[in-house]
């Protein structure tokens, strides 16, 4: 699986290194390819549909519906169709613009991400309609992946799409974590936070899930449409209060969360809801799977490797200090792994936007790391978004090494100025050090690699 733009190999003084590193990145993405992931966990023999450790006798079901959303949704729907073919009754999946796959029965609907749009709402209405149409004796297959929270937008009564757009923009700017953002989304939605299972009840529901959340908490991935909600209105309200955006988000949102906090609006479904007795949730790919595959490929081509963590979170530029320190430690002492070294980590950082530039969390991490490893010839740090789109850009991330700032100074580029303006995209674009993949049709969070040669 080689999705990487040829520009990855054409810049700087590290072409030979990049050629060596490319198979490692490709192996990580191949391991979480949605079609392959679905087919590893779902198979059909006669009337027996095996999903994970469960078997569904299709002779016992009248109709089979496919619904869901996320950046991998189109590919997951394609794989599901290839397995079930004309046994499927109908389906609709929302995915990000450009993340398409060819399907015959399931309608793949392109919609806005990370800011939801009218197409997302329309597709979500159709999903809700199919779920509500399902009854006892039907099977509903939900295909959930990263990006599903924005792509499966169906606001509760009294909240408009415009309200959700303003709220989402505020949350992305303030540096709230994905868990915090999703706690709010679940309490403003007709289908998130377990409500999709409730809509489909008493039909049988099975969800195949690609996780894009650190630690794979089921109720957070795509805001948990088929999972009991562990968050509360009080916690959702606390997020907008703690980040100081109470007066920035629409008053309708604040009022709805407040009335929920006071018990006037019913809570989202919890563990004891009858719908979950007929719901099965299965994670079929995750950040850890991608990280392990990268590590295996690195070992195959003679790197000494260590998987440090798949729980990396925090402000991108601060996390970069840690990765830079690891590179320096390896170069100095050979710890925690000797050269040639490949340290793999996964997770998802955040960026508090203070400037007016363009970039994403991975590009910002790489820029901050470039400043820290300036002149350290042995080191290369790569930050990669597995979905192929890092923030509101067409880049998946960026590559930094000991020569990055040297080459930048030759072009009269001030790395610190670009970082202060949150303008990592234009910095790396000028150097040719952006990583461009285009849509990968998957999404399992981010990967960061520290290489020391």
Tens-digit pLDDT profile for residues 286-333: 999 999 999 999 999 999 999 999 999 999 999 999 999 999 999 999
Please tell me whether residues 410 and 297 are part of one structural domain.
Answer: yes
User: What's the pLDDT at 182?
Assistant: 86
Please tell me whether residues 61 and 80 are part of one structural domain.
Answer: yes
Has residue 349 been placed in a domain?
A: yes
Of residues 1 and 285, the one with the higher pLDDT is 285
With a cut of 50, say whether residue 1 has pLDDT above it.
Answer: no
User: What's the pLDDT at 16?
Assistant: 79
Instruction: Read off φ and ψ for residue 282, nearest 5 degrees.
Output: -135, 120
Q: Mean pLDDT over residues 261-281, rounded? A: 96
Give the 3-state secondary structure percentages of the chain, helix then strand then coil, rounded to 5.
40, 20, 40
Q: Give the closest residue to 249 by CA, choosing from 264, 237, 261, 259.
A: 237
Q: Where among 285, 316, 350 does a domain terminate? A: 285
Query: Global pTM?
Result: 0.86
Please tell me whether residues 278 and 313 are part of one structural domain.
Answer: no
Please tell me whether residues 103 and 194 are part of one structural domain.
Answer: yes
For the chain, first and last CA: distance in Å? 25
Confidence of residue 179 (pLDDT cuts 50, 70, 90): confident
Q: Where among 285, 310, 328 does a domain terminate? A: 285
With a cut of 80, say whether residue 5 has pLDDT above it.
Answer: no
What the block records as the tokens of 192 is 């998130």
User: What's the pLDDT at 4?
Assistant: 62
Q: Over the stretch 24-37, which tens digit does the pLDDT of each residue have?
A: 999 999 999 999 99
The number of angstroms, rounded, from the C-alpha of 62 to the middle of its chain's C-alpha atoms is 34
Please tell me whether residues 68 and 113 are part of one structural domain.
Answer: yes
Has residue 65 been placed in a domain?
A: yes
Please tell me whether residues 19 and 105 are part of one structural domain.
Answer: no
User: What's the pLDDT at 13?
Assistant: 46
With a cut of 80, say whether residue 66 has pLDDT above it.
Answer: yes
Q: Mean pLDDT over residues 237-255, rounded? A: 96
Q: For residue 304, what are the β-bridge partners?
A: 341
Confidence of residue 387 (pLDDT cuts 50, 70, 90): very high
DSSP assignments along 307-330, one per residue: EEEEEE-SBHHHHHHHHHHHHHHH
User: What's the pLDDT at 241?
Assistant: 96
3-state SS assignment for residue 121: helix
Please tell me whether residues 211 and 331 are part of one structural domain.
Answer: no
Please tell me whether residues 221 and 280 are part of one structural domain.
Answer: yes
Please state, for a pLDDT cut of 70, what percent of the chain lies above it: 97
Please tell me whether residues 21 and 107 are part of one structural domain.
Answer: no
In which domain, by residue range, is 138 found? 34-154+189-231+268-285
Q: Mean pLDDT over residues 388-416, rounded? A: 95
Mean pLDDT of the chain: 94
CATH number of the domain enclosing 335: 3.40.1480.10
Please tell me whether residues 272 and 417 are part of one structural domain.
Answer: no
Q: Mean pLDDT over residues 280-291, rounded? A: 97
User: What's the pLDDT at 279?
Assistant: 98
Has residue 240 been placed in a domain?
A: no
How many structural domains are present in the chain? 2
Please tell me whether residues 45 and 21 are part of one structural domain.
Answer: no
Has residue 170 been placed in a domain?
A: no
Q: Give the closest residue to 234 by CA, choosing from 265, 205, 213, 272.
A: 265
- Using CA atoms in the order 25, 295, 443, 208, what is the torsion angle rounded to 10 degrees? 140
Strand 304-312 and strand 379-385: the pairing is unpaired
User: What's the pLDDT at 220?
Assistant: 87
User: What's the pLDDT at 40?
Assistant: 96
Has residue 280 been placed in a domain?
A: yes
CA-to-CA separations, 322 to 317, 326, 358, 381, in angstroms, rounded: 9, 6, 24, 12
Please tell me whether residues 136 and 79 are part of one structural domain.
Answer: yes
Q: Where among 250, 285, 320 does a domain terminate? A: 285
User: What's the pLDDT at 267?
Assistant: 96
Has residue 1 been placed in a domain?
A: no
């Amino acid at each position: 699986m080689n999705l990487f733009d040829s520009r990855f190999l054409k810049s700087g003084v590290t072409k030979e290194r990049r050629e060596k590193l490319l198979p490692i990145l490709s192996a990580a993405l191949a391991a979480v390819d949605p079609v392959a992931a679905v087919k590893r966990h779902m198979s059909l023999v006669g009337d027996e549909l095996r999903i994970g450790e469960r078997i569904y006798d299709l002779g016992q079901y009248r109709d089979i519906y496919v619904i869901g959303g996320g950046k991998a949704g189109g590919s997951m729907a394609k794989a599901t169709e290839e397995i079930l073919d004309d046994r499927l009754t109908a389906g609709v999946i929302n995915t990000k613009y450009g993340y398409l796959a060819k399907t015959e029965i399931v309608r793949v609907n392109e919609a806005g991400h990370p800011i939801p749009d009218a197409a997302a709402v329309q597709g979500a209405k159709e999903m809700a309609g199919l779920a509500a149409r399902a009854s006892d004796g039907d099977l509903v297959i939900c295909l959930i992946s990263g990006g599903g929270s924005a792509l499966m937008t169906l606001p509760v009564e009294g909240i408009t799409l415009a309200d959700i757009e303003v709220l989402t923009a505020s949350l992305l700017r303030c540096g709230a974590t994905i868990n915090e953002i999703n706690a709010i989304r679940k309490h403003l939605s007709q289908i998130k936070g377990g409500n999709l299972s409730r809509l489909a009840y008493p039909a049988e529901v099975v969800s195949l899930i690609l996780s894009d959340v650190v630690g794979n908490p089921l109720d957070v991935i795509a805001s948990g449409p088929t999972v009991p909600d562990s968050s509360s209105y009080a916690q959702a309200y606390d997020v907008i209060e703690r980040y100081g955006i109470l007066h920035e988000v629409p008053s309708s949102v604040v009022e709805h969360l407040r009335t929920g906090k006071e018990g006037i609006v019913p809570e989202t479904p919890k563990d004891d809801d009858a719908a979950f007795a007929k719901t099965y949730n299965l994670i079929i790919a995750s950040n850890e799977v991608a990280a392990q595959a990268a590590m295996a490929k690195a070992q195959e081509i003679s790197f000494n490797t260590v998987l440090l963590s798949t729980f990396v979170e925090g402000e991108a530029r601060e996390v970069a200090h840690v990765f830079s320190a690891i590179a320096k430690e390896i170069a100095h002492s050979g710890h925690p792994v000797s050269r040639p070294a490949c340290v793999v980590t996964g997770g998802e950082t955040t960026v508090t936007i203070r400037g007016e530039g363009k970039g994403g969390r991975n590009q910002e991490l790489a820029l901050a790391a470039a400043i820290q490893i300036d002149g350290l010839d042995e080191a290369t740090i790569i930050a990669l978004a597995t979905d192929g789109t890092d923030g509101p850009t067409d880049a998946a991330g960026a590559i930094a090494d000991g020569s990055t700032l040297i080459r930048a100074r030759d072009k009269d580029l001030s790395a610190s100025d670009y970082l202060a303006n949150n303008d990592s995209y234009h910095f790396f674009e000028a150097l040719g050090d952006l990583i461009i993949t285009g849509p990968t049709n998957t999404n399992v969070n981010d990967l960061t690699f520290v290489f020391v040669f």
